């Protein structure tokens, strides 16, 4: 401690040792006046100390520990992990910890507010500016976030917790309806209490009660709340539901509120009010009977239909459409004529569950409804239903499509039809499972297809999505409104920040909310508690408010990045003019992100989009981007090639796929589709964008990338009574053919710790059918490698082959597609897989025969014509997430025939493509899966045989001892001059190894014609090899080559550039030191136009390195 004196300047006086903490102390912070300081530690506590000076003339006395007393004032507990940083003032304390929370405490030790908006391994720093009342936090996830203490985040702070100096710009009302005031004690059916609330604007609230009263509350200020009785529904029936539609008159510009009330007698009452400065004016009201007693549960306006039509719903899921245009704008004061209101249309139920929300589009002629059990249904909605002069009689509308379990078993809370494209309509829904789901409705197929989902983990249930309109001074933002536990929350989806939080007791009570043009400063929330209406209003004028950025630096992964891959710029909407690079990354926390890097002079990260999360948050270990789609032909196959020449033809109209794999054997496929001018507006809501602070400065950035979840594959869950066995697979010899069968006694797949370690994939188009097949090879930690096929667009998975044998787990996989023009035979194209294992070996497999057999089999059986493939990913949050039950077709046939014999234990998702002596196509050894439909109707299909054996493919070549231990990374490129392939690898032994090889067809051998067209006589010939023993000073973790230059990285935090020479030689050209600790992966993009290599390295973070070859290269 330093103490100043007048005579000798600075004196250093030892005042004592404080031994309160039980662990390492990470930060000590002083208050601005020096009267107190605080310390934080890894014992999860924060302690505040005050200094007491005994002598008033301390400066004129000899400094001594007797003059100063250090008093422990406050001990704070509340963090669940280590506390990294802190701040202290006279009125408040701020702490930030490893549990990703930033806590604000009062000087009485009570927790005022907790921010939890960072992800991953914690918040490292926090700052507070008393003048602007801003808290700034920075964490492991790379994000720097700003929290405004003056906004509505402090709505629910009670008086004894308020921090001095904060200006809230908010009000809290506690009011009672005149007919409810003074009623206490138990309630019965005759009691008066509030049933429905609805905001019309920030100062107008409509209240409906159990005795049928409708009142308006004018909320001028806390002291001035004016109540106006509007109407009491007939027979004093309780108001069950209410909806309000606000319009503005073209003549007077006054606001008109049209209120729809549904009561317990089944009647609907419409009230039209004109607002004025003094009190509302009742223009019109009328009532008609819509349902029987206690059968009317919902009334719904639709913005697309304005106030001319209204929907009603009953408990069985029946929707009725009523035309009220003529009566609503009549001059009669009160109308009570049920005979004047026949329903225009009756929409028959699809699932028999109550409709909770809907949206209709007369232009698209479609109605989408969501029910209480998580399903959505599409109905035809002809324009004639809403024509002004239509004399149409009542129509009975049947569902044209439905999607079961859109939100699992949780209720659908909102449905919205987005802008459409030429071939489909975009739909997004929210639900009680805390998810936002995205669907496409095909105009031609008339089928609802799931294509994306976003989980908002901060919300237990999402009630709706709100998008404010962009102005000149700000960009548009999207917010999720919902509840978590007992709190109401408004969540900014773009900045991943909390806009408002109010403790209300949950959503099972009457409530209403209203948001202004800038929800940060304009939001209202009202709820009922203990017969009172609690209103939290934060409404500040925005014209003099300068909106500060809430995210100063974009958010990235909060944990270690295990994999990355560049997204080929050819997949962009305008690749020639695109100036940014896109990188897909997979992380330990189970998330996959798409991050943009702006090339050129700026050279900075400009965006990071959260694409999605693996099921259950399982860690992502590897990613693979498929940049091209090939059309494959094979002359010996029976299907017609339609004039396509032999070889591989790259498709111009391509589908770009991204594969991610990881823990719990989760394999997820994502589809990347460029947004053209037609559908770009559809995705403008930006529900997956985490940072918008630079959006207006990125005119040249290609932001037109549409990303969608496609499908997720997981191993089937076996019965729990299956015992663990020492043998995972059982080999069976059938003639000259060796197969692998799943053992009946294997352990439960859902309880093991197996994980996928690597993946590689390629995309082939069938030459006849309108189908494409994505072949995916995955390596698992149980030392198995499986080739799977994804049939598109039906999203059906098939197990194609096992790649054996493997004594050690495979760490890396790569594939090779060799054009048929390189060979003189008619055997077609070659498809090879290369793997690197933990024992240091590199192995090659030839998949050509298996792939051609599978394509032939698909053309004959066409399973996509009979299997229902509607599904969505599991959320892992208690709901089933639309989980489908899959059984083999043979099992379903047995069940229908009454045969209850046990199954043979075969994998129900496999399809055998190996040749058999009885049937060359393999149809007799094929088992196709079929989806067990949710309805009672069963689709009959021709039965396959009972066997579902998966072929076992043995390697064509194996290189042992390439590395002394594991092969961590491997890359293959084609060398044009000598038409050979260059494979380069790095391992734990710190070495880099290079091989050059060719795949040679032995067409000169004396073989039969049938054998001549086979690929079994292909051999791999090593041309030359070279090894650098100590390429890095630690394990090599990532490597890449294009045959001319090669780049590698290792745990020594170096990126080394290698010049590839002739005859297999390569030497180090240069190296760079990177700031990424523990790098795990590397990928490179070669910009041939600018003659630059962009090298991305990831581990505990991500860094971009740029390399420019010499001019004479």
Domains and CATH numbers, the chain: 2-150 (2.130.10.10), 576-613 (no CATH), 962-1113 (2.130.10.10)
**Rounded mean pLDDT, 717-740:** 42
Q: CA-based angle 333:339:343, to the nearest 5?
A: 105
What confidence category does residue 64 fall into, taking pLDDT thresholds of 50, 70 and 90? low
The CA distance from 214 to 207, in Å, is 6
Instruction: Give the per-residue pLDDT at 677.
Output: 40
Q: How confident is the model at residue 536 (pLDDT cuts 50, 70, 90)?
A: very high
Name the more confident of 387 and 167. 387
pLDDT tens by residue, 576-586: 555 688 999 99
- Rounded to whole angstroms, the Cα distance separating 437 from 450 reads 8
**Do residues 1049 and 1079 lie in contact, with contact meaning Cβ atoms separated by under 8 Å?**
yes
State the Cα–Cα distance between residues 1043 and 936, nearest whole angstrom: 59
Residue in the block written with tokens 């089999």: 857
Q: What is the pLDDT of residues 314-344, one digit of tens each?
A: 999 999 999 988 888 775 555 544 446 678 9
**Is the model's pLDDT at 937 over the cut of 50?**
no
pTM of the model: 0.78
Percentage of the residues of the chain whose pLDDT score is greater than 90: 45
Closest CA to 758 of 736, 735, 780, 728: 780
Say yes or no to pLDDT of 642 above 50. no
Please, which pLDDT band fits residue 751 given cuts at 50, 70 and 90?
low
**For residues 646 and 281, which has the higher predicted lDDT (pLDDT)?**
281
* pLDDT given at position 678: 38
pLDDT tier, 739 (very low <50, low <70, confident <90, very high otherwise): very low
Cα–Cα distances in angstroms (integers) from residue 241 to residues 197, 237, 302, 323, in the given order: 9, 12, 15, 19
How many other β-carbons are positioned within 10 Å of the β-carbon of residue 567?
Answer: 22
Which DSSP symbol is given to 266? S
Quote the radius of gyration of the chain (alpha carbons, Å). Answer: 34
Q: What is the pLDDT of residue 445?
A: 82
- What is the reported pLDDT for 675? 53
Residue 750 — very low, low, confident or very high, per pLDDT cuts 50/70/90? very low
Given a cut of 70, whether residue 61 has pLDDT beyond it is: no
With beta carbons less than 8 A apart as the criterion, state whether 115 and 100 touch.
no
pLDDT tier at 891 (50, 70, 90 boundaries)? very low
- Among 230-239, 369-378, 826-835, top mean pLDDT goes to 369-378
910-927 burial string, b = 16+ CB within 10 Å, else e?
bbbbbbbeeeebbbebbb
**Three-state secondary structure call for residue 305:** helix
Q: Write out pLDDT tens, residues 784-825.
A: 999 999 998 888 899 999 998 888 999 999 999 987 766 666
Please give the pLDDT value at position 418: 85
Burial of 238 (0-12, 13-18, 19+ CB in 10 A): buried
pLDDT classification of 1062: cutoffs 50, 70, 90:
confident
Rounded mean pLDDT of 40-44? 94
16, burial (CB in 10 Å: exposed 0-12, middle 13-18, buried 19+):
exposed
Question: For 1028-1035, what is the mean pLDDT?
Answer: 94
* Distance separating alpha carbons of residues 480 and 491, to the nearest angstrom: 5
Q: What percent of the chain has pLDDT over 70?
A: 73
String of DSSP letters for 479-500: EEEEEETTEEEEEETTTTEEEE
The pLDDT of residue 315 is: 96
Q: How many CB atoms lie within 10 A of CB 788?
A: 21
Contact assessment for residue 960 and residue 995, using Cβ atoms and an 8 Å cutoff: no
Calpha distance 240→264 (Å, rounded): 6
Q: Which residue has 């496999």 as its token pair?
A: 910
């Amino acid at each position: 401690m330093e103490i100043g004196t007048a005579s000798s300047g600075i004196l250093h006086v030892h005042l004592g040792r404080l031994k309160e903490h039980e662990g390492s102390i990470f930060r000590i912070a002083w208050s601005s006046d020096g009267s107190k300081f605080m310390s934080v530690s890894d014992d999860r506590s924060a302690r505040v100390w005050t200094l007491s000076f005994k002598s008033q003339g301390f400066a004129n006395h000899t400094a001594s520990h007797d003059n100063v007393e250090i008093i422990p004032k406050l001990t704070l507990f509340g963090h669940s992990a280590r506390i990294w940083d802190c701040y202290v003032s006279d009125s408040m304390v701020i702490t930030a910890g490893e549990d990703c929370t930033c806590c604000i405490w009062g000087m009485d030790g009570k927790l005022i507010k907790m921010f939890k908006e960072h992800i991953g391994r914690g918040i490292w720093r926090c700052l507070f500016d008393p003048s602007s009342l801003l808290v700034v936090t920075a964490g492991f996830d790379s994000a720097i976030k700003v929290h405004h203490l003056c906004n509505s985040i402090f709505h629910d702070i009670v008086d004894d917790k308020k921090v001095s100096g904060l200006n809230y710009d908010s009000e809290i009302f506690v009011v009672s309806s005149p007919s409810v005031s003074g009623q206490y004690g138990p309630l019965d059916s005759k009691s008066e209490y509030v049933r429905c609330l609805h905001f019309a604007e920030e100062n107008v609230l409509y209240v409906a009660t159990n005795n049928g009263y409708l009142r308006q509350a004018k909320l001028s200020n806390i002291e001035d709340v004016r109540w106006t009785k509007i109407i009491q529904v007939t027979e004093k029936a309780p108001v069950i539901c209410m909806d309000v539609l606000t319009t503005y008159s073209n003549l007077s510009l006054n606001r008109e509120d049209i209120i729809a009330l549904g009561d317990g007698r089944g009647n609907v009452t419409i009230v039209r009010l004109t607002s004025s400065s003094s009190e509302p004016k009742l223009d019109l009201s009328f009532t008609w009977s819509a349902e029987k007693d206690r059968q009317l549960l919902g009334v719904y306006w639709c913005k697309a239909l304005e106030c001319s039509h209204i929907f009603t719903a009953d408990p069985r899921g029946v929707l009725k459409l009523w035309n009220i245009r003529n009566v609503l704008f009549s001059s009669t004061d009160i109308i009570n004529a049920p005979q004047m209101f026949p329903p225009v249309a009756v929409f028959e139920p699809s699932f028999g569950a109550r409709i909770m929300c809907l949206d209709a589009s007369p232009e698209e002629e479609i109605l989408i409804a969501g029910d209480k059990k998580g399903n959505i249904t599409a109905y035809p909605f002809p324009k004639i239903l809403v024509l002004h002069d239509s004399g149409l009689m009542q129509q009975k509308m049947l569902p044209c499509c439905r999607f079961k379990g859109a939100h699992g078993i949780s209720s659908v809370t909102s449905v919205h039809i987005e802008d459409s494209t030429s071939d489909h309509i975009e739909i997004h829904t929210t639900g009680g499972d805390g998810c936002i789901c995205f669907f496409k409705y095909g105009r031609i197929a008339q089928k609802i297809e799931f294509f994306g989902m976003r989980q908002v983990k901060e919300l237990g249930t999402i009630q709706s999505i709100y998008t404010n309109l962009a102005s000149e001074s700000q960009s548009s933002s999207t917010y999720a409104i919902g509840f978590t536990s007992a709190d109401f929350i408004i969540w900014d989806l773009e900045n991943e920040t909390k806009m408002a939080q109010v403790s209300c007791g949950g959503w099972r009570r009457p409530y209403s909310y209203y948001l202004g043009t800038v929800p940060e400063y304009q939001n209202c929330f009202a709820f009922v508690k203990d017969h009172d209406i609690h209103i939290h209003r934060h409404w500040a004028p925005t014209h003099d408010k300068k909106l500060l950025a809430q995210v100063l630096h974009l958010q990235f992964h909060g944990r270690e990045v295990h994999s990355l891959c560049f997204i080929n710029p050819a997949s962009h909407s305008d690749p020639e003019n695109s100036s940014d690079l896109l990188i897909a990354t997979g992380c330990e926390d189970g998330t996959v992100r798409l991050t943009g890097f702006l090339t050129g002079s700026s050279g900075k990260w400009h965006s990071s989009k959260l694409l999605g999360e693996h099921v259950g948050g399982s860690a992502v270990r590897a990613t693979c981007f498929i940049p091209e789609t090939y059309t494959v032909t094979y002359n010996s196959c029976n299907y017609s090639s339609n004039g396509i020449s032999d070889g591989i033809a790259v498709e111009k109209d391509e589908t770009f796929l991204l594969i991610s794999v990881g823990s719990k054997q989760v394999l997820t496929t994502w589809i990347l589709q460029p947004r053209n001018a037609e559908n770009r507006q559809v995705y403008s809501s930006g529900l997956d964008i985490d940072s918008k602070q630079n959006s207006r400065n990125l005119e040249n950035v290609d932001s037109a990338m549409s990303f969608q979840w496609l499908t997720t594959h997981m191993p089937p869950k076996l019965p729990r009574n299956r015992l663990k066995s020492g043998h995972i697979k059982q080999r069976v010899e059938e003639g000259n053919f060796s197969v692998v069968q799943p053992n009946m006694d294997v352990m439960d797949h859902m309880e093991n710790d197996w994980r996928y370690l690597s993946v590689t994939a390629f995309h082939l188009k069938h030459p006849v059918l309108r189908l494409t097949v994505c072949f995916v090879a995955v390596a698992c930690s149980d030392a198995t490698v499986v080739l799977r096929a994804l049939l598109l667009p039906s999203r059906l998975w098939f197990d194609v082959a096992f790649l054996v044998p493997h004594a050690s787990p495979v760490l890396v996989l790569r594939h090779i597609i060799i054009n048929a023009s390189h060979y003189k035979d008619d055997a077609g194209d070659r498809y090879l897989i290369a793997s690197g294992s933990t024992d240091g070996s590199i192995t090659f497999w030839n998949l050509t025969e298996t792939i051609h057999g599978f394509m032939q089999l698909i053309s004959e059986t066409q399973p996509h014509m009979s299997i229902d493939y509607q599904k969505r990913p599991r959320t892992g949050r208690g709901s089933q997430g639309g989980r489908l039950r899959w059984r083999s077709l043979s099992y379903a046939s047995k069940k229908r025939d009454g045969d209850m014999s046990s199954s043979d234990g075969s994998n129900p998702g496999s399809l055998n493509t190996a040749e058999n002596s009885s049937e060359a196509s393999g149809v007799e050894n094929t088992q196709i899966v079929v989806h067990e439909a949710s309805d009672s109707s069963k689709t009959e299909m021709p039965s396959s045989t009972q066997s579902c054996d998966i072929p076992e493919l043995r390697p064509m070549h194996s290189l042992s001892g390439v590395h002394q231990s594991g092969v961590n990374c491997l890359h293959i490129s084609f060398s044009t001059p000598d038409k050979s392939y260059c494979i380069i690898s790095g391992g734990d032994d710190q070495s880099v190894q290079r091989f050059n090889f060719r795949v040679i067809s032995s067409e000169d051998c004396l073989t039969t014609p049938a054998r001549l067209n086979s690929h079994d006589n292909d051999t791999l010939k090593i041309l030359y090899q070279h090894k650098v023993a100590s390429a890095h000073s630690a394990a090599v973790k990532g490597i890449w080559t294009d045959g001319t230059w090669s780049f590698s990285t290792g745990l020594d935090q170096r990126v080394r550039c290698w010049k590839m020479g002739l005859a297999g030689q390569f030497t180090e050209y240069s190296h760079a030191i990177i700031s990424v600790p523990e790098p795990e992966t590397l990928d490179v993009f070669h910009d041939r136009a600018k003659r630059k290599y962009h090298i991305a390295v990831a581990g505990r973070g991500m860094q971009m390195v740029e390399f420019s070859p010499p001019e004479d290269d």
